[in-house]
Amino acid sequence: MPALLEVKGLRTQFQTREGLVYAVNGVTYQLEEGETLGIVGESGCGKTVNVLSLLRLIPEPPGKIAGGQALFQGKDLLKMSSDEIRHVRGAQIAMVFQDPMTSLNPVLTIGRQLTEALELHLGMNKEQSRQRSIELLEMVGIPKAGDRLNDYPHQFSGGMRQRVMISMALSCAPQVLIADEPTTALDVTIQAQIVELVKRLRDELGMAIIWITHDLGVIAGLAKRVIVMYAGFIIEEAPVKELYGDPRHPYTLGLLGSLPRLDETLHRRLVSIEGLPPDLLGLPPGCPFAPRCVYAMDRCHKENPPLESVSPGHWKACWVDTRREKTQ
């Protein structure tokens, strides 16, 4: 049975005054029905551009989808007309953005912003859409939902605004929910509440989720599989337990080494990854991580390694066997 979403060789570029920015460089992955896929990496690694490309939300110009396919239920999202992709957005694939204050319209009530999608995609009348909006707000835990429909975004706290965004994303019962760092601007307690809310809704509604973050800690209890991105490339992909238990790419090792752990018997110094991500205007000829890598050898600076299988479902793009290097 084919995957719900299959991305093959996606490449996205931006033309700037300084030159061509290679934002996403041939990424390939898939999403199964009901699965939660985590995409992690530093800021600027191409995580968000990757999913915005799928929904054709890249501004053209300066952006351009330079190649690849994104098959959703057998149809290529990248080849759809403007009308076709508009019916996919929100109705079948929904997205929750990082900052709800910039995603919500400040001059429209929450009720109007919720009912608009219901009337457009599901053909509901005003009363039907109002009742459904109340149900959606109650579903995401907003108290006195009926009274809050006439409120504006600034009258909600950050956590409540993010709940509103989630209710809007779920309004048309999408098959895929893309969450782009939805907890980054929130404090730790509210972050945990939002993650638990999304897990509960996923289990109740059976939707698939792509969760984008720079925080591997958030992904641990949420995702089934994890993709690690760096400089527009996928550099490791594995089931979540295997990625945490047996990371095989030096960059993943670095990310995990910077996380505090509760299961450490001895005090362990957190490590940092030295250096900065590469300039995507002119990628080096070899592995993009080589200038920062403690395991790098001559070949790493000359050839960019392909993704290769290291065990069933576990892939890495690295010339070095980090396991062997650590034991030497």
Which helix (DSSP H) or strand (DSSP E) does residue 241 occupy? helix 240-245
Could you tell me the pLDDT band of residue 157, with boundaries at 50, 70 and 90? confident
pLDDT digits (tens, 9 = 90+) for 280-323: 887 778 999 988 888 888 999 999 999 999 999 999 999 988 77
**Is the predicted pLDDT of residue 48 greater than 60, yes or no?**
yes
**Is the predicted pLDDT of residue 99 greater than 80, yes or no?**
no
pLDDT digits (tens, 9 = 90+) for 179-190: 888 877 677 787
Q: Among 192-196, 211-215, 279-283, 320-324, which stretch is predicted with the lowest mean pLDDT? A: 320-324
Q: Give the position of tokens 């362990």.
A: 268
User: In whole angstroms, what is the distance from residue 217 CA to residue 197 CA?
Assistant: 17
pLDDT at position 38? 94
* Mean pLDDT, range 207-232, rounded to an integer: 89
User: In whole angstroms, what is the distance from residue 47 CA to residue 212 CA?
Assistant: 7
Average pLDDT score, the chain: 86
pLDDT at position 260? 61
pLDDT at position 266? 52
**Is the predicted pLDDT of residue 71 greater than 80, yes or no?**
yes
pLDDT at position 167? 86
Q: Give the position of tokens 């095989």.
A: 248
Q: Beta strand 93-96 with 176-180: parallel, antiparallel or unpaired?
A: parallel
Could you tell me the pLDDT band of residue 13, with boundaries at 50, 70 and 90? very high
User: In whole angstroms, what is the distance from residue 100 CA to residue 105 CA?
Assistant: 9
The two tokens of residue 117 are 């999608």
Q: Beta strand 225-230 with 233-239: parallel, antiparallel or unpaired?
A: antiparallel
* Mean pLDDT, range 105-117, rounded to an integer: 88
pLDDT at position 78? 92
User: In whole angstroms, what is the distance from residue 319 CA to residue 149 CA?
Assistant: 56
